[in-house]
Amino acid sequence: MNNTKEAWERHYARIARKDRVIHQSNVFVGFNANIDAIIYIDETFEKILAENNITKDNLLKKEPKNINTQKEFLQVLAKSIMDSKEMEIATKNKKLTQWIENTFNTREYRIGGQAGIMSKFLDNLGLRVVFSTPKLSEKMAHLLPKTLIIPDASGLKKLKDAKKSEDTKTNYIFEYKKGTSLFNKKTPRADRFILATRPKGLEPRFHNNATYEFLSFFELVDRAIISGFQSLNAYDKKDFEKAHTQIEKIKKVNPEIKIHVEEAYITDRRVSDEILDFVVRHVHSMGLNEVELAKTLSATGKSKKASAIEKSNYSLLECYLGAKEIFEKMKLQRLHMHTYNYCMVLLSKDYGTSPEKMRDGLLFALLCAAVKASNGSVSSITDIKKVETKLNEQGVKEIIRTQKELGLCEGFIDSGICDLGNHFLIAAPTKISKKLKSTVGLGDIVSSSAFVYDVL
């Protein structure tokens, strides 16, 4: 164990030490962006529950697909906090969001939505980022880097010159720390609950007349990251079809491009299924966390694999076996999964990047996530040199156990790389930052930086 820990410390030190000159690779990021209103939950929350007659005994047992009432909202939020279980649930109730604004103390407004978070972060790293979202308001533009490039109907624009929309979507992020007490129980870990809103006109794609000419900027794009499909309804088949058509066009414009889709927390399994069929099946790479992996597996009818993952408390071993199903079924070239303890990538041999480079990408990405957890954002690529972290021992144990139980090549425990015939399994223990500011968006940081590392 000690030798293995030292090996991982050495890997991390090598990555943090390296001085990088960013080659200004071009990255595209789309489509979901909004404002996140960050609310920190503390002991005063119990008072709000009491005022609304919510007790420990009337919390919601089953997670609802949507939130309709104030009572339902409080019951689900309390449940998420008590179990430290991340959730994202949508509401259309405007009175409820108004009540939240008046009742809770919003500490900060940040750019949110996976694409919003990833575009800002990748720009801060020094990449040239083309960013597209269906509605970009002035309010959002203020929270984004000025250097972003926006594809408008009339060509590529600077952020300040791009067409702005009047309205802004706001999501409410309830962050809680480890050890927050609620109904005499302390939260097992830090996590967040997201109340998402669903304004119209935010379909995760380009406008309807995205012609080949409009999409021609993709000729110069090395990597594309798309997300936001969770906001579609399962019965909106046409929307999924339109997204799919645009993906095919992009691949025609640039056959060398790699496209990555970032999954999200989805409450309707039919939506998960459509995302797999219309999006994931047609791209090269997919990113998700352990909860999303289990949910995706159940949506494809693999509920045994999903419950094995949950029962094992999201062990690397079970997650690998589950992820392999999706990797093979979706004919992916790359599947990335992040958890608090470890990260893994399944990489096909025709992806064109060496497993060592992919592993280093994971380490780089995990250092970036530690910076984000500790400071709230990553302001420059050199931040990873300064962040104070601790190697996650649990992650190291997971790697050792998986090597033994699956009989993987011995080198796996120190290198995190194993050749499994048609694919490589790549894994790394995480680094935990000594300070913790917030948890929202950490997955987006890990997924996007690990994906673009080979073109940095």
Q: Output the smallest distance, CB 20 to ligand GLC, in A.
A: 25
Taking CB under 6 A as the binding criterion, the range among 8-16, 144-152, 268-276, 438-446 that sits at the site for ligand GLC is 438-446
Residues 248-307 that bind ligand GLC (CB under 6 A): 264
Residues 6+ apart with CB under 8 A from 255: none
- Nearest partner of 200 among 179, 244, 231, 224, judged by Cα: 231
The CA-to-CA distance between both ends of the chain, in Å, stands at 33
Residues 169-188 that bind ligand GLC (CB under 6 A): 171
Closer residue to ligand GLC (CB): 195 or 250 = 195
Closer residue to ligand GLC (CB): 254 or 374 = 374
DSSP strand pairing (87-91 vs 106-112) = unpaired
Candidates 77, 148, 367, 440; binder of ligand GLC (CB under 6 A) is 440
Tokens of 285: 């790479």
Candidates 275, 444, 445, 451; binder of ligand GLC (CB under 6 A) is 444
Q: Output the smallest distance, CB 175 to ligand GLC, in A.
A: 11
Q: Output the smallest distance, CB 90 to ligand GLC, in A.
A: 9
Closer residue to ligand GLC (CB): 196 or 347 = 196
Residues 389-428 that bind ligand GLC (CB under 6 A): none
The contact pattern for ligand GLC, residues 34-73, with x = CB under 6 A and - = no contact, is x-x-------------------------------------
Residues 6+ apart with CB under 8 A from 95: 70
Closer residue to ligand GLC (CB): 289 or 315 = 289
Closer residue to ligand GLC (CB): 112 or 134 = 112
Helices 114-125 + 442-452 axis angle, to 10: 50
**Residue 441 interacts with ligand GLC (CB under 6 A)?**
yes
Instruction: Count other Cβ atoms within 10 Å, centred on residue 165.
Output: 16
Closer residue to ligand GLC (CB): 113 or 355 = 113
Closer residue to ligand GLC (CB): 82 or 87 = 87
Q: Output the smallest distance, CB 172 to ligand GLC, in A.
A: 8
Closer residue to ligand GLC (CB): 193 or 424 = 193
Q: Which residues pair with 67 in a beta bridge?
A: 91
Taking CB under 6 A as the binding criterion, the range among 15-23, 31-39, 78-86, 182-190 that sits at the site for ligand GLC is 31-39
Q: Output the smallest distance, CB 130 to ligand GLC, in A.
A: 19
Q: Output the smallest distance, CB 291 to ligand GLC, in A.
A: 12
Taking CB under 6 A as the binding criterion, the range among 30-38, 148-156, 182-190, 277-285 that sits at the site for ligand GLC is 30-38
Closer residue to ligand GLC (CB): 338 or 431 = 338
Candidates 25, 32, 97, 448; binder of ligand GLC (CB under 6 A) is 32
Distances (CA, A) of 209 to 212, 240, 259, 404: 9, 16, 21, 54
**CA separation for the pair 413, 408 (Å, rounded):** 9
Closer residue to ligand GLC (CB): 198 or 252 = 198
Candidates 29, 59, 194, 297; binder of ligand GLC (CB under 6 A) is 194
Please write down the HEC assignment for all residues of the chain.
Answer: CHHHHHHHHHHHHHHHHCCCCCCCCEEEEEECCEEEEEEECCCCHHHHHHHCCCCHHHCCCCCCCEECCHHHHHHHHHHHHHHCCCEEEEECCHHHHHHHHHHCCEEEEEEECHHHHHHHHHHHHCCEEEEECCCCEHHHHHCCCCCCEEEECCEEEEHHHCCCECCCCEEEEEEECCCCEECCEECCCCEEEEEEECCCCCCCCCCCCCCCCHHHHHHHCCEEEEECHHHCCCCCHHHHHHHHHHHHHHHHHCCCCEEEEECCCCCCHHHHHHHHHHCHHHCCEEEEEHHHHHHHHHHCCCHHHHHHHHHCCCCHHHHHHHHHHHHHHCCCCEEEEECCCEEEEEEECCCCCCHHHHHHHHHHHHHHHHHHHHHCCCCCCCHHHHCCEEECHHHHHHHHHHHHHHCCCCCHHHHCEEECCCEEEEEEECEEECCCCCCCCHHHHHHHHHHHHHHC
The contact pattern for ligand GLC, residues 101-140, with x = CB under 6 A and - = no contact, is -----------xxx--x-----------------------
Q: Output the smallest distance, CB 236 to ligand GLC, in A.
A: 18
Closer residue to ligand GLC (CB): 113 or 322 = 113
Q: Output the smallest distance, CB 233 to ligand GLC, in A.
A: 16
User: Which single residue brings its beta carbon nearest to ligand GLC?
Assistant: 112
Closer residue to ligand GLC (CB): 262 or 414 = 262
Q: Output the smallest distance, CB 196 to ligand GLC, in A.
A: 5
Residues that bind ligand GLC (CB under 6 A): 32, 34, 36, 88, 112-114, 117, 171, 194, 196, 264, 440-441, 443-444
